[in-house]
Chain A
Amino acid sequence: MDSASIYYLGVTLILFLAFAAIVARTYSKRHRDKGEEPKFRMMDDDKPKKDDHPEN
């Protein structure tokens, strides 16, 4: 196996692990409720928030 092949394999592996981490986090018990929160909050977005202190 040459260095280019090792590089491609490494990048593929890193991408796969990143994806696996996203799946694990999204479906973890800890994030279950938080992960579904945005779909409820988006139902009430008629006006901008008035507060001067953004949450982020």
Chain B
Amino acid sequence: MNQQEGYADDIVKGFVIWSMVWGLVAVLVGVFISFQIAFPQLNFPPYLTYGRLRPIHTNAGIFGWGIGSFMAFFIYITQRLTRTSLWSPGLAKAQLWLFNVVIALAAVTLAMGMNRSKEYAELEWPVASLVVVLWVIFAVNIVMTIVKRREEQMYISLWYILATLVGVAVLYLVNNASIPVSLTKSYSAYAGANDANVQWWYGHNAVAMVLTTPPLAIFYYFLPKATGVPIYSHRMGVIAFWSLIFMYLWTGAHHLLWAPVPDWVQTLAMAFSVMLIAPSWAAVFNGYFSMNGQWHQMRENYLVKFLIFGITFYGLQTLQGPSQSIRTFSAFIHFTDWVPGHVHMGTLGWVSLVLFAAIYYTIPRLYHTEIYSVGLANVHFWLVLTGQLIFSITMWIAGVQQAAMLNATNPDGSLHYSFIETMVELYPYWHMRALGGVIYLAGLLVFLYNIYQTIAGAKTQAVAQRA
């Protein structure tokens, strides 16, 4: 695209397409490992075992699908909200290449067993160093675009974008501080309880700065665009943003309740986690109130359906999360299958539904065409919704049963069930989860087919027009 005529959107296309590729990888691996749990004979050592594949699933999902899409939409949104073209399209192209190299290297090294043993920070130092370079390139490009903006005031999405850029940088650098002992092995710079504390300060704020602030930036931008009506209250959005930023960074230690970290740190994390309900639900209400007089669009506009269900799952997620951070409830459900149920409501329900809407909105506009099939988009919606609900609800029930069995005691105080007895009881739930994953995968394939046909149709039209 001629940069003088408009926005640099070719690079957005690249990020969207590659994020969908990595999203497919994440779900394929996710479905496979769900079958590995239900049918352990499907583990093939050394490379195709649950232990090797699970971090590939999470890295492809969070960083390949999630970060890839966020890069696409940050570039798309920032240009439009600043009413100026990207500071350096060339740098963004280099960023796209590096992004794919990093994700591919992550998949290969994790399959080979190179792993820092820190959840969501598994990558060994050479790949982690490339991530830092990637993020610096990205951040510089976005910040410089904002600096040369032609709108005085910044819409709320830009605040969330800036918070993501700064937050991820700080979290990643601190938690990845390591002492390399070879090209493929390093040890954390922290030790013992300090290491755990830093890890979960990072781990939970990866949820904040990767799975909350970017989708909120995208939601606040695409909901008004999809409905044609401005957001209910920009000022409420600003207050919710600052409340979220002030509170979120204190919550990480709720992953370490009952662990040997100071009691006051746990209590502080618990208190801030509960307080987070306020800013989270301010965003939810902002979304709902924006729909005043527009609720008929839930029936007529498939984009709105994805976005409103997405923000609803965000609301449910931000009630369930603080509940889990309370000591007594945490003691019950921690280390049970309840937790993957919670996590997948956030990733499959909240984050992915918002990203699907954003892709459906942008792809036809970027290729100057219409979506191939609204009917298929609706089929996609119902399949992913059904798959996700089966997954999450099944895991919550499994978690409660597992917790009840693990906590059951005899009159003399000894455990009523052995650990293996609790595991055996979970098999039916694991079968159901695998089924939920297959349904979600089917929905994803419908989505990819719809997008592929939209792009292919646009290219055919363009060729016909030239002829």
Contacts and interface: CB of A to CB of B under 8 A. Distances in A.
Interface of A: 15, 19, 22-23, 26-27, 32, 34-43, 45-49, 51, 54-56
Interface string B383-403: 000000000000000000000
Given A48-B6, A54-B150, A56-B149, A42 B81 contact: yes
A39 B238 contact: no
* Those 8 A-B pairs whose CB atoms lie nearest each other, nearest first: A45-B80, A38-B155, A39-B230, A49-B150, A39-B234, A35-B235, A49-B83, A55-B152
Contact of B239 (A26, A32, A39, A47): A26
Contacts of A40: 230
A30 B415 CA distance: 65
Interface of B: 6-7, 79-81, 83-85, 148-157, 221, 224-225, 228, 230-231, 233-235, 238-239, 242-243, 246
A38 B153 contact: yes
A38 B241 CA distance: 15
Nearest to B155: A38
Nearest to B148: A54
17 contacts: A22-B238, A22-B239, A22-B242, A35-B235, A37-B153, A38-B153, A39-B156, A39-B234, A42-B80, A42-B81, A42-B155, A42-B224, A48-B150, A54-B84, A55-B151, A56-B151, A56-B152
B149 A48 contact: no
A12 B154 CA distance: 27
Interface centre among A40, A46, A51, A54 (most CB of B within 10 A): A54
A6 to B, nearest CB: 16
Contacts of B85: 48
A26 B238 contact: yes
B278 to A, nearest CB: 12
B7 A41 contact: no
Interface centre among B148, B153, B154, B233 (most CB of A within 10 A): B153
Contacts of B154: 38
Interface centre among B149, B152, B221, B228 (most CB of A within 10 A): B152
Contacts of A27: 235, 239
Contacts of B243: 19
A54 B149 CA distance: 7
A38 B156 contact: yes
A22 B152 CA distance: 18
Nearest to B7: A48
Contact of B246 (A19, A34, A42): A19
Given A48-B79, A48-B83, A41 B239 contact: no
Nearest to A47: B6
Nearest to B235: A35
Given A35-B238, A37-B153, 6 more contacts: A35-B234, A38-B156, A48-B84, A48-B150, A54-B148, A54-B150
